[in-house]
Chains A and B, each alone.
Chain A
Amino acid sequence: MATFFGEVLSVYSRAVEEDDDDLDDENEDERIHREIEEKREVHIVWCPEVAQSLEDSGSNTLQCSDLIIAVGTNAAGFLSAYVLNTESWDAVGHVSLWNERSRGSSRQSIAPLPGEPACLFYRHRDNPAVLVCQSTCYIAEDQLFQWTEKVFGCLQKRGLSVMVLSDSPVAEYKTPDYLYGSAVPFLRSLKSSASKGQALCPALEQPNILTGLPAAVLSHCQVHQIPAVLYQCYTDVISPDSITMETYKPALLCLSKLVKLEPCLSADVLRKFAIITEAQSNLYT
Chain B
Amino acid sequence: MAYLERSSPTLKETLLKIYRAEKPIEIDQHFYEFGSIQYHIKCSVLDTNIVYVSTSTLLETQGIVTSKEILSATYEVIKNIAVGVIDIVDPPRLGFQLTLKLHLDNIPRGKEAIKIITRISEIQAIILSSQLKEMLKRLNFQDDSQAMNNNNRPVRIVYHPSEPFYVFRQAEKITAVFPMNFKDNSDVVIAMSFFQELVEVGSQKEMGKAPQCSWSPVPPFQLRGEPVHDLTTNAGFVSFDITSRHVEGKRLDKTVWNLLNFYAYVKYHIKCTRGYIQRRMRKRMDSLVKQRLNNTRFEEESPQKENGACKYVKELVKVQKGKLMMQQRCKDMTRRVKISKFRIRINGCARFRFNQRWISIPKFSSKSSK
Task: Say if A and B assemble together.
Answer: no
Q: Which residues of A contact B (CB under 8 A)?
A: none
